[in-house]
Amino acid sequence: MKQVISAILFLTFVITLIVVVFTFQQVDREQKSLAADIQKRSDETAHRINDNLKPYMFNTYYSTYLQTLVDKYTNSERLLGVAVYDNKDNLLALSTGFSTEFAKTETLPANIMDADKASGDFSSLDNNSVYDYAIPLHDNKGAVVGSLMIVQNAGYINDRIFDIWKNNLLRLLVQSIAISLAVLFIIYWFISKPIKALAESIKNARNGNIPKGKIANHIFFEPLINEFTSISKSLQEARNIATQEARLRLEKLDSPWTAERLKEFTKDLLKGKNIFVVSNREPYMHIKQGNKISYIQPASGMVTALEPIMRSCGGMWIAHGSGDADKLTVNSHDKIKVPPDDPKYTLKRVWLTKEEEKGYYNGFCNEGLWPLCHTAHTRPVFRKEDWYQYEKVNGKFAQTLLKEIKDVRKPIILIQDFHFALLPKMIKNSRPDAIIGIFWHIPWPNAESFQICPWRREILEGMLGADLLGFHTQLHCNNFIDTVSHELEALVDLELFAVQKEGHVSFIKPFPISIPFLEQEKESTEQVEKNKKEVFEELGIKTKYMGLGVDRLDYTKGLLERLHAVEYFLQTYPAYRKNFTFVQISAPSRTTVPQYAKFAEEVEKEIERINATFRTRDWKPIVFLKKHHTHEQLYKYYKAADFCAVTSLHDGMNLVAKEFIMARSDEKGVLLLSQFAGASRELKDAIIVNPYNIEQTAESFKTALTMMQAEQTKRMKRMREIVQNYNVYRWSAELLKTLMALEN
């Protein structure tokens, strides 16, 4: 719409410019014509008066008749006054009622007597435009004996000029409106409508609904339509081939998992059944941007992992509606089809009050369970009022879910993360036939640590309402089994890794989460260097080597320890000063939680201190980018970095490590990975570090920057194979396959 308005405004500007130029020309011609006309009439009137004045002009006896004659002529149209002067510029006669002051101060009569030539000019009288015209008077011998001046009303000339401008501008307004309407009609009928039809056809083709024959017929878009028709046929053929290949791969475990293969797999596995996903974070958030509503996909490993499942098999995703425009986009049942540009499943939003959000999310989840499970030496805070809100919100989600599955036989439910530990049991109690899985996206601590939680038994019993409990690593599974053994009266089967309580069996399995690995064309050295140069220019840095960190501003990510490692590295290896810059990208996180706000301040202070210690006029050791970046924006930094440091103090998996590996299609770069991140169990070719050991981490910087390219390539190739083979599509398939195998 902005482009249409811009086009109309530009066209209106051009038309206005043309009208103004032509109006100026018309006004100029009209002014010259009217000026010539008033001059001609003034000359004729002056000479006619002169002929009648001669017999009486210099005879004192006839002075009364002279005045009468002057008054007689002032009764004519547009003639305001007549004045007669002798050759000494004395006023002999003046029209009655005319301005004496004007007649005495006017210099024109004297000037024309000196020049002995008639002349006229425009002037102003009582703020009105007038035309003064004077002729010299001669005696019988031809000598100048006086002058005659007449004053005519010239206001009609200004009125005429005003009328021209008014009429032309009025016509301009009418023309602009007519042209704007015509442009809108043309754009809608001849451009917008055909483009919408073409876009709809392209969207249908992308979704697999290839139109038969030609999609449309329009003279302006004929070449484009012909090309699209050909592409549609080719796309249909490619889809058919891909579907056939995906079906053939279903039984071949060693073949790569793709979105198409997952789609075919879920079709065969679920046989038309939908999945119900429950999470705190929604996959799409609607936000206000001025007068417009747009949407974003929150940065989340959980969203990245579950989106392929929902796109493949459809169903419903139930989540907390946290966007400031979320309520404006749902229907009367608080639902919306997503993704917005290619709907595949339904998003059901649940609304929380400020009190609920504060107690359940900020309080119990982020000040209690989060630090408890991550054991990152931040003291968990447990409050009775937060626990009350946690129970209340879990109950609210349970009621919402039960309402949606009331007519569904054996519903398949995937519950996500520590926000809904009580939900599995709530659902199982009401719907024993439901097939329930819960995936715990963060670490599970050892049994002794978990004893800190005052409501540990309620949490464990709630989770054991699920048929399948998934964790990232076997260690987390072991810790959970140990915790259950310590806290509950239940039968633990270490061979099957299952817990039986009150006749219900829950299986505990590791499912290391991953990313949708996108194969990219291998980049040349020249392309890599060009990208690196562009990144350096964008950041305004002059350096040779670049280290990279990508983390939320979270105390579990080891940011302060990493910054101290940068400081120690530059102290130990001064040759890298001015030649090495560490770029830390951190999106603000949970800013309403006091621990996070305080931690963010500490990080910024440390960066300022270290930069102040080492910086020079045109170099500083640390560049801090405190804002959210899309995956596309991050990839250019991944590709430019000599190494990426993932030094979490404790992490369930950490997908940044896998994203860095996927981005390095040049098979260069080094990954530094914390031994406390779940990804370290898979990515053995990374440089594994203890993030608490500042000296070791700093030494790993030196190792990464001096590693031979052949060694980098060997390590990166092996890690890329791991991430590619065990991608998010395979993770989704294994999780679903294991869950469905539990169906009675």
How does pLDDT run across 708-736, given as a tens digit for each residue? 999 999 999 999 999 999 998 899 899 99
Domains in the chain, number: 3
Q: Is the pLDDT of residue 744 over 70?
A: no
Provide the whole-model pTM.
0.70
Q: Which of the listed residues 159, 176, 197 is the one where a domain comes to its end?
A: 159
Residues 561 and 496 in one domain: no
Provide the pLDDT for residue 501: 94
- Mean pLDDT is lowest, of 102-116, 332-346, 351-365, 448-462, for 102-116
Residues 342 and 437 in one domain: yes
Provide the pLDDT for residue 413: 96
Provide the pLDDT for residue 50: 82
Provide the pLDDT for residue 236: 57
Q: What is the CATH number of the domain that holds 29?
A: 3.30.450.20
In angstroms, rounded to a whole number, what is the distance separating the alpha carbons of residues 269 and 713? 39
Q: Quick one: pLDDT band at residue 372, thresholds 50, 70, 90?
A: very high
Most confident of the ranges 193-202, 340-349, 467-476: 467-476
Provide the pLDDT for residue 186: 75
Query: Measuring CA to CA, which residue among 551, 695, 571 is closest to residue 625?
Result: 551
Residues in the chain: 744
Question: Is 172 inside a domain boundary?
Answer: no
Residues 658 and 630 in one domain: yes
Residues 435 and 489 in one domain: yes
Q: What is the CATH number of the domain that holds 608?
A: 3.40.50.2000
Q: Quick one: pLDDT band at residue 506, thresholds 50, 70, 90?
A: very high
Say if residue 697 is exposed, middle or buried (CB neighbours under 10 Å; 0-12, 13-18, 19+): buried
Residue 457 corresponds to which amino acid? R
Q: Quick one: pLDDT band at residue 688, thresholds 50, 70, 90?
A: very high
Q: Quick one: pLDDT band at residue 441, thresholds 50, 70, 90?
A: very high
Provide the pLDDT for residue 739: 94
Residues 467 and 575 in one domain: no
Question: Is 231 inside a domain boundary?
Answer: no
Q: Quick one: how far is CA 624 from the chain centroid?
A: 22
More confident residue, 177 or 716: 716
More confident residue, 106 or 255: 106
More confident residue, 85 or 700: 700
Work out the percent of the chain whose per-residue pLDDT is above 70.
Answer: 89
Question: Is 180 inside a domain boundary?
Answer: no
Query: Measuring CA to CA, which residue among 111, 148, 113, 154 is closest to residue 133?
Result: 148
Question: Is 65 inside a domain boundary?
Answer: yes
Which ranges of 381-455 does DSSP label H, i.e. alpha helix? 384-404, 423-430, 447-450
Mean pLDDT of the residues in the chain: 86
Pairing of strands 345-350, 315-320: parallel
Residues 509 and 623 in one domain: no
Provide the pLDDT for residue 415: 97
In angstroms, rounded to a whole number, what is the distance separating the alpha carbons of residues 132 and 122? 6
Which ranges of 540-648 does DSSP label H, i.e. alpha helix? 559-572, 594-614, 631-640
Q: Quick one: pLDDT band at residue 627, thresholds 50, 70, 90?
A: confident
Q: Which of the listed residues 159, 182, 216 is the one where a domain comes to its end?
A: 159
Question: Is 467 inside a domain boundary?
Answer: yes
Residues 76 and 136 in one domain: yes
Work out the percent of the chain whose per-residue pLDDT is above 90.
Answer: 49
Calculate mean pLDDT across residues 527-538: 88
Calculate mean pLDDT across residues 301-310: 80
Provide the pLDDT for residue 211: 55
In angstroms, rounded to a whole number, what is the distance separating the alpha carbons of residues 57 and 86? 9
Q: Quick one: pLDDT band at residue 20, thresholds 50, 70, 90?
A: confident
Q: Which of the listed residues 101, 130, 159 is the one where a domain comes to its end?
A: 159
Calculate mean pLDDT across residues 602-624: 94
Neighbour tally for 55: CB within 10 Å: 12
Residues 578 and 674 in one domain: yes
pLDDT, tens digit, 9 for 90 and up, residues 23-41 = 888 888 888 888 888 888 8
Strand runs labelled E in 431-538 = 435-439, 468-471, 491-493, 498-501, 504-510
Provide the pLDDT for residue 391: 97
More confident residue, 487 or 290: 487
Residues 334 and 432 in one domain: yes
Provide the pLDDT for residue 398: 97
Residues 306 and 407 in one domain: yes
Residues 510 and 540 in one domain: no
Q: Which residues pair with 169 in a beta bridge?
A: none
- Mean pLDDT is lowest, of 89-98, 247-256, 297-306, 444-453, for 247-256
Residue 355 neighbours by CB under 8 Å, 6+ apart? 389
Provide the pLDDT for residue 572: 96
Question: Is 92 inside a domain boundary?
Answer: yes
Q: Is the pLDDT of residue 205 over 70?
A: no
**Domain around 697:** 535-726
Residues 399 and 290 in one domain: yes
Query: Measuring CA to CA, which residue among 653, 743, 734 is closest to residue 309?
Result: 734
Provide the pLDDT for residue 715: 97
pLDDT, tens digit, 9 for 90 and up, residues 448-499 = 999 999 999 999 999 999 999 999 999 999 999 999 999 999 999 999 999 9
Question: Is 185 inside a domain boundary?
Answer: no
Provide the pLDDT for residue 490: 93
Question: Is 360 inside a domain boundary?
Answer: no
Q: Quick one: pLDDT band at residue 138, thresholds 50, 70, 90?
A: confident
Which ranges of 324-410 does DSSP label H, i.e. alpha helix? 326-329, 354-356, 370-374, 384-404
In angstroms, rounded to a whole number, what is the distance separating the alpha carbons of residues 413 and 736? 10
Calculate mean pLDDT across residues 103-121: 84
More confident residue, 416 or 273: 416
